[in-house]
Amino acid sequence: MKFFLDTANLQEIREGAALGVVDGVTTNPSLLAKEKGDPEEILRQICELVDGPISAEVVATDAAGMLSEGRHWAALHKNIVVKCPCTVEGLKATKLLAAEGKRVNMTLIFSPMQALLAAKAGARFVSPFVGRLDDVSTDGMQLVADIVQIFENYDFDCEVLAASLRHPMHVLEAARLGAHVGTMPMSVLSALVKHPLTDIGLKRFLEDWEKAKKELGARAR
């Protein structure tokens, strides 16, 4: 399973990249709007920090506009993947961008059929939003399960990118289901590392080691 960081914050991306397990980054207009500075420059810097797919989303709502924004984003850096929303216009733009060899991440996916349409249009990634479905009392993870199963039935060159993952259990469940990618905030990635028994175990190892060293020193005297 590939791990993407869902942030446009350079400090978080630096921290995540240092862990050695970050395979890509997803941004969206809201995430970029939270950061100070020119979004284009931020995206360029993200591409330098992580050598993997970096999603940059279009904000046009018509296919022609998405195509032109998508071309612009893709020309920024070889790592850029163009994010298009799953709308009629988004599907048209995806088809055109894919025909030009540009990778598309179809975002705001809330039904299995939207994912199937995205894959048919040539998207390289589909992003089902798990947390946002959970927010409205719908099982977001079931959507991931459905899409994984549908994609297994066919031969699409399209990865299931479980998005809107809000806590470690979301990541665990997405991995169990076979999602190719999970994108998560840095807080969730950090939480995956932690276990209280690891901390207790390490503390004990270090205390025992210190004790043994002292005893050895006392015996030598």
Task: Report the distance separating Cα 9 and Cα 30, nearest Å.
Answer: 12
Helix (H, G, I), strand (E, B) or coil at 164: coil
Orientation angle between helical segments 112-121 and 88-99, nearest 10 degrees:
30
Interface mask (CB under 6 A) for ligand E4P, residues 132-161, using x and -?
x-----------------------------
Q: Return the amino acid letter for 41.
A: E
Q: How far is the CB of 31 from ligand E4P (least distance, A)?
A: 6
Nearer to ligand E4P, 56 or 96 (CB): 56
Asked if 179 and 148 touch (Cβ cutoff 8 Å), the reply is yes
Task: Report the distance separating Cα 92 and Cα 193, nearest Å.
Answer: 41
Q: Which of 212, 174, 192 is nearest to 22 (CA)?
A: 192
* Annotation marks residue 83 as catalytic: yes
127 counts as binding ligand E4P under rule CB under 6 A: yes
Interface mask (CB under 6 A) for ligand E4P, residues 36-75, using x and -?
----------------------------------------
- Taking CB under 6 A as the criterion, the residue among 183, 186, 188, 189 binding ligand E4P is 183
Q: How far is the CB of 29 from ligand E4P (least distance, A)?
A: 9
57 phi, psi to nearest 5 deg: -95, 145
82 counts as binding ligand E4P under rule CB under 6 A: no
Residues of this chain that interact with ligand E4P (CB under 6 A) are 6, 26, 28, 107, 127, 129, 131-132, 163-164, 166, 183
Active site residues: 83
